[in-house]
């Protein structure tokens, strides 16, 4: 991941800080960032950063522009221009702090209006992949006295203190991490003294503490925050030592809980070891233990899970429960931080529940074939349309397990391939009697002189084990045969994670063509 | 007081250069520290100014060659 920090003031200290663990563009000097963006041959445009942070000093930008709208439109025009050279970058522009205080007190509110107009005119332009970097949030947390340094300003045109630079760098790292690595998927919660105050088995459904006001408010607010995580696509589950009848009764009779039973994809309410329950949850959801976070007030339970399942994240529980809500905010920032939640993300909880239902009925069938018949899977295959491009790129970026070649493509790459006559990009959308899987399978192949080479073949892991991949390949083969293709060549490039795709071509009657350390090539003659 | 100032200055230098305090040498010329470039120099002096609420001119800043001279300048 290559990044750039642009600014209207000197940000070399910030750049130096970020360079410790990132590839950061060495700016050609501050203040000419607009020029750097619009010049096709600038260092910036040659560097081609994936993420650009534009940190703006409010007082300075105002000094140099007649109106705030003029300042923002300058920046946005520059972004549009830059995107013609480097179309796929993500941009974060800071909001601005304005504090011209030597003026009539009755006019001081104007500072706030200027800051707000800045955000409104940037967001209002609705430029793709341009987000606001919440610089003002950092200033509010720290206070202006600590955020700014007059000394650094007059000595080196850096208005911001050492301390504030470290906080900005932390926030930038968080954003880079959110973009470059997958966030955690699932939150596992204990119940007694975690989701509510007290012990359900002893205090009863009306004795536990959770209510919009009064003593139970801290737990009510905690539940409210957890619900927000769910709305961002985090899967909520329970691993708790209680009696299930008590829990059912509680959710049925106590209206003061914010969360309802349906908010949880899986509930393991029993007296088994927590680690066992967590393993079962991971298996039922078909997700890795390293994508789970476990919250429990009991130090012994936390320790048990830490020892048995070192991949699961087990944060310390706050000793002062009044701090539960800052705690869950930290959990969000650390493990579930999200720049933009896609529709797919938001649907995720529903899909994982549907999947658990599918698994539950599995045992009722004599054979796997009968089970698949019952599921009644419908696969809709089409060449990618404009509205599929974002998802197609996302699939190449995120799919690790069933991915034959693990080639990562940007939206722009997909667009270009879509326009190439010799290349086909096919996407498949699946559904069955329990619900939609969404767009889960993708193939990219190139056809020349009656020979086809499959560049990419992948499928999201949530659709694995349904023969969808075989049906998809059969459809491609049939299409190719119709247009007179005689030979199909497929390749498997092994990675640490794509073992599930290893035997795909062999299973589908392809012959081994050649094999070396990097890749295995397969071939099939159509006749 | 002097001991306090000296300790604080060493902490600032250590923090900015990312070198442990024990490995700092009061008399080693700054040019001989790889990490102590002109940017780090400004960071160190600015932090010292802010910490002790004193004035150091840019001219004096340029003339500071090692940690001892920095300490002398602030009366440490």
pLDDT digits (tens, 9 = 90+) for A480-513: 999 999 999 999 999 988 999 999 999 999 999 9
Q: What is the pLDDT of residue A505?
A: 96
- A362 has pLDDT over 90: no
- B1 has pLDDT over 70: no
A158-172, A210-224, A352-366, A408-422: least confident range? A352-366
B14 and A CB contact within 8 Å: no
Calpha distance A374→A89 (Å, rounded)? 45
Q: What is the pLDDT of residue A287?
A: 84
Q: What is the pLDDT of residue A187?
A: 97
Cβ contacts of residue A186 below 8 Å, gap of 6+? Answer: A234, A235, A236, A237, A281, A282, A285, A287, A291, A292, A293
Calpha distance A426→A411 (Å, rounded)? 14
Would you give the DSSP letter of residue A204? -
Average pLDDT rounded to a whole number, residues A393-406: 92
Q: What is the pLDDT of residue B76?
A: 59
Q: What is the pLDDT of residue A254?
A: 95
Which two three-digit tokens encode residue A235? 């899967």
Cβ contacts of residue A360 below 8 Å, gap of 6+? Answer: none
Q: What is the pLDDT of residue A357?
A: 81
- A274 has pLDDT over 70: yes
Which of A205, A212, A220, A204 has the alpha carbon at shortest distance from A253?
A205
Calpha distance A410→A392 (Å, rounded)? 9
Q: Across the interface, which of B47, B58, B61 has its CB nearest the CB of A162? A: B47
Q: Which residues 133-152 of A are in CB contact (within 8 Å) with B?
A: 149, 151-152
Calpha distance A202→A204 (Å, rounded)? 6
Could A152 and B39 be called an inter-chain contact, meaning their C-beta atoms sit closer than 8 Å?
Answer: no
Q: What is the pLDDT of residue A182?
A: 75
Evaluate whether A339 touches A175 at the Cβ level (below 8 Å).
yes
Which of A305, A123, A295, A87 has the alpha carbon at shortest distance from A192?
A295
Name the E strands within A135-176.
none
Could A155 and B45 be called an inter-chain contact, meaning their C-beta atoms sit closer than 8 Å?
Answer: yes
A136-145, A336-345, B26-35, B54-63: least confident range? A336-345
Evaluate whether B29 touches B65 at the Cβ level (below 8 Å).
yes
Q: What is the pLDDT of residue A124?
A: 79
From chain A, the residues in CB contact with B49 under 8 A are: 151
Among A153, A156, A158, which would you mutate to test the B interface (most chain B Cβ atoms within 10 Å of its Cβ)?
Answer: A156
Average pLDDT rounded to a whole number, residues A452-465: 91
Question: To the nearest whole angstrom, how far is the Cα of B63 from the nearest Cα of chain A?
Answer: 15
Calpha distance A237→A512 (Å, rounded)? 44
Could B16 and A162 be called an inter-chain contact, meaning their C-beta atoms sit closer than 8 Å?
Answer: yes
Question: To the nearest whole angstrom, how far is the Cα of A170 from the nearest Cα of chain B?
Answer: 16
Per-residue pLDDT reduced to its tens digit, A24-68:
998 877 778 999 999 999 999 999 999 999 999 999 999 999 888
Q: Which residues 159-218 of A are in CB contact (within 8 Å) with B?
A: 161-162
Q: Across the interface, which of A12, A151, A156 has its CB nearest the CB of B50? A: A151
Q: What is the pLDDT of residue A393?
A: 92
- A258 has pLDDT over 80: yes
Calpha distance A58→A9 (Å, rounded)? 10
Calpha distance A499→A4 (Å, rounded)? 36
Which two three-digit tokens encode residue A147? 């955020």
Evaluate whether A197 touches A215 at the Cβ level (below 8 Å).
yes
- A345 has pLDDT over 90: no
Calpha distance A121→A69 (Å, rounded)? 7
- A348 has pLDDT over 80: no
Better-scored residue on pLDDT, A100 or A309? A309
Which of A472, A489, A471 has the alpha carbon at shortest distance from A526?
A489
* Interstrand relation of A130-133 and A90-94 (parallel, antiparallel or unpaired): parallel
Q: Across the interface, which of B39, B49, B61 has its CB nearest the CB of A13? A: B39
Which of A345, A224, A219, A235 has the alpha carbon at shortest distance from A281?
A235
- A87 has pLDDT over 80: yes
Geometric angle at alpha carbon A317, from A314 and A322, rounded to 5°: 150
Q: What is the pLDDT of residue A476?
A: 94
Better-scored residue on pLDDT, A13 or A466? A13
Q: What is the pLDDT of residue A181?
A: 78
Residue A273, burial from CB neighbour count under 10 angstroms (0-12, 13-18, 19+): middle
Average pLDDT rounded to a whole number, residues B6-33: 94
Could A16 and B39 be called an inter-chain contact, meaning their C-beta atoms sit closer than 8 Å?
Answer: yes
A12 and B CB contact within 8 Å: yes
Give the DSSP H/E element, type plus range, for residue A248.
helix A244-253
Calpha distance A219→A323 (Å, rounded)? 10
Would you give the DSSP letter of residue A50? S
Q: What is the pLDDT of residue A491?
A: 96
Which of A369, A501, A387, A476 has the alpha carbon at shortest distance from A439?
A387
Please report the ipTM that was assigned to this predicted complex: 0.91
* Interstrand relation of A235-240 and A435-448 (parallel, antiparallel or unpaired): unpaired
Evaluate whether A186 touches A235 at the Cβ level (below 8 Å).
yes
- B34 has pLDDT over 60: yes
What phi-psi label fits residue A412: left (phi over 0), alpha (psi between -120 and 50 degrees) or beta? alpha
Q: What is the pLDDT of residue A300?
A: 97
What phi-psi label fits residue A489: left (phi over 0), alpha (psi between -120 and 50 degrees) or beta? beta
Geometric angle at alpha carbon A138, from A133 and A141, rounded to 5°: 150
Which two three-digit tokens encode residue A525? 């003659």
From chain B, the residues in CB contact with A152 under 8 A are: 42-43, 46
Q: What is the pLDDT of residue A472?
A: 95
A155 and B CB contact within 8 Å: yes
Among A162, A164, A165, A169, which would you mutate to test the B interface (most chain B Cβ atoms within 10 Å of its Cβ)?
Answer: A162
Question: To the nearest whole angstrom, how far is the Cα of B2 from the nearest Cα of chain A?
Answer: 23
- A360 has pLDDT over 90: no
- Residue B38, classed as helix, strand or coil, is helix
Which two three-digit tokens encode residue A503? 């035997």
- For A58, A183, A297, the CA distances from A234, given in Å and listed in that order, are 36, 9, 20
Question: To the nearest whole angstrom, how far is the Cα of B55 from the nearest Cα of chain A?
Answer: 9
Calpha distance A519→A492 (Å, rounded)? 6
Which pLDDT band, with edges at 50, 70 and 90, does A146 fall under? very high
Could B43 and A149 be called an inter-chain contact, meaning their C-beta atoms sit closer than 8 Å?
Answer: no
Q: Could you give phi then psi for residue A462, rounded to 5 degrees?
A: -70, -10
From chain B, the residues in CB contact with A151 under 8 A are: 46, 49-50
Q: What is the pLDDT of residue A159?
A: 95
Calpha distance A287→A8 (Å, rounded)? 45
Average pLDDT rounded to a whole number, residues A145-152: 94
Evaluate whether A50 touches A5 at the Cβ level (below 8 Å).
no
Q: What is the pLDDT of residue A128?
A: 77
Question: To the nearest whole angstrom, how far is the Cα of B59 from the nearest Cα of chain A?
Answer: 11
B42 and A CB contact within 8 Å: yes
Which pLDDT band, with edges at 50, 70 and 90, does A468 fall under? very high
């Amino acid at each position: 991941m290559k990044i750039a920090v642009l600014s209207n003031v000197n940000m070399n200290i910030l750049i130096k800080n970020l360079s410790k663990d990132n590839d950061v563009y060495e700016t050609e000097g501050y203040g000419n960032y607009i020029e750097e963006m619009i010049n096709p041959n600038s260092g910036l445009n040659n560097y081609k950063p994936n993420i650009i942070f534009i940190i703006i000093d409010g007082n300075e930008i105002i000094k140099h522009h007649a109106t705030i709208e003029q300042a923002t439109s300058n920046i946005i025009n520059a972004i549009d221009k830059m995107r013609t050279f480097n179309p796929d970058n993500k941009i974060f522009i800071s909001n601005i702090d304005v504090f011209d205080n030597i003026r009539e007190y009755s006019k001081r509110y104007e500072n706030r209006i200027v800051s707000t107009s800045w955000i409104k005119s940037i967001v209002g332009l609705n430029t793709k992949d341009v987000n606001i970097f919440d610089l003002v949030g950092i200033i509010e947390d720290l206070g202006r006295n600590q955020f700014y340094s007059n000394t650094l300003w007059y000595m080196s045109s850096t208005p911001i203190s050492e301390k504030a630079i470290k906080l900005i760098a932390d926030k930038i790292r968080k954003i880079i991490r959110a973009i470059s690595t997958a966030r955690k998927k699932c939150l596992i919660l204990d119940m007694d003294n975690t989701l509510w105050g007290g012990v359900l088995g002893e205090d009863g459904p009306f004795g536990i503490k959770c209510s919009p006001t009064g003593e139970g408010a801290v737990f009510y607010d905690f539940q409210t925050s957890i619900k927000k995580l769910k709305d961002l696509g985090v899967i909520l589950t329970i691993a708790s030592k209680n009696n299930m009848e008590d829990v059912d009764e509680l959710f049925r009779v106590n209206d003061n809980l914010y969360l309802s039973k349906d908010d949880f994809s899986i509930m393991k309410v029993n007296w088994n070891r927590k680690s066992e329950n967590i393993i079962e949850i991971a298996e039922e959801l078909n997700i890795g233990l390293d994508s789970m976070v476990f919250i429990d007030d009991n130090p012994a339970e936390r320790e048990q899970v830490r020892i048995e399942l070192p991949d699961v994240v087990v944060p310390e529980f706050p000793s002062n429960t009044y701090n539960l809500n800052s705690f869950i905010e930290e959990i969000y920032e650390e493990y579930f931080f999200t720049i933009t939640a896609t529709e797919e993300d938001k649907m995720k909880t529903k899909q994982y529940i549907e999947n658990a239902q599918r698994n539950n009925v599995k045992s009722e069938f004599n054979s796997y074939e009968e089970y698949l018949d019952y599921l009644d899977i419908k696969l809709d295959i089409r060449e990618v349309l404009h509205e599929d491009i974002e998802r197609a790129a996302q699939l190449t970026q995120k799919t690790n397990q069933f991915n034959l070649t693990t080639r990562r493509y940007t939206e722009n790459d997909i667009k270009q391939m879509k326009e190439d006559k010799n290349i086909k990009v096919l996407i498949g959308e699946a559904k069955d009697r329990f619900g939609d899987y969404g767009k889960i399978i993708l193939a990219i192949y190139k056809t020349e002189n009656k020979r086809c080479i499959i560049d990419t073949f992948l499928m999201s892991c949530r659709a694995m084990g349904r023969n969808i991949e075989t049906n998809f390949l059969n459809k491609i083969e049939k299409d190719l045969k119709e247009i007179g293709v005689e030979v199909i060549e497929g390749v498997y490039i092994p990675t640490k994670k794509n073992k599930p795709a290893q035997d795909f071509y062999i299973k589908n009657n392809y012959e081994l063509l050649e094999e070396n350390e990097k890749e295995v090539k397969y071939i099939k003659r159509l006749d | 007081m002097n001991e306090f100032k000296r300790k604080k200055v060493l902490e600032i230098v250590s923090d900015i250069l990312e070198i442990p305090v024990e490995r700092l040498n009061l008399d080693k010329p700054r040019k001989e520290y790889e990490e102590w470039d002109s940017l780090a120099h400004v960071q160190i002096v600015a932090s010292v100014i802010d910490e002790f609420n004193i004035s150091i001119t840019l001219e004096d800043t340029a003339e500071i060659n090692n940690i001892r001279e920095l300490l002398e300048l602030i009366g440490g």
